[in-house]
């Protein structure tokens, strides 16, 4: 099994064997980390933001609700842009 390294993830064995380069390992670790953050956002964080927006509307705090919706839109855009940026790695 692969040894987990904090700076390169699961790529140490492949690096030692010469199957991949250091640059490839770093790039792969970067996309893996980014996609995990996207997953966490859509799995849990986004629902919490939506709850806060709903709560603001329920309390008739329209300014906070609109600000929350704007933040949600920006965060969604950031996450979806990350998916597009790393799409080439996801199905290979």
44-83: pLDDT as tens digits: 999 999 999 999 999 999 999 999 999 999 999 999 999 9
Q: Give the predicted TM-score (pTM) of the model.
A: 0.74
5 confidence band (pLDDT: 50, 70, 90): very low
Question: Which residues make Cβ contacts (< 8 Å) with residue 90, sequence separation at least 6?
Answer: 35, 83
Per-residue model confidence (pLDDT) at position 2:
40
Per-residue model confidence (pLDDT) at position 24:
84
Q: What is the mean pLDDT of the chain?
A: 87
Per-residue model confidence (pLDDT) at position 9:
56
Kindly state the tokens that stand for 24. Answer: 């490839």
Higher pLDDT, 7 or 80: 80
Contacts by 40-45, CB closer than 8 A, 24 or more apart: 41/75, 41/79, 42/79, 45/75
């Amino acid at each position: 099994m692969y040894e987990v390294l904090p700076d390169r993830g699961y790529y140490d064995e492949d690096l030692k064997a010469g199957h991949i380069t250091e640059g490839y390992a770093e790039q792969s670790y970067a996309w893996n980390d980014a996609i995990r953050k996207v997953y966490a956002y859509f799995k849990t964080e986004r629902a919490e933001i939506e709850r806060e927006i709903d709560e603001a509307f329920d309390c008739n705090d329209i300014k906070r609700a609109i600000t929350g919706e704007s933040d949600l839109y920006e965060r969604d855009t950031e996450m979806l842009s990350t998916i597009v940026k790393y799409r080439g790695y996801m199905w290979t």
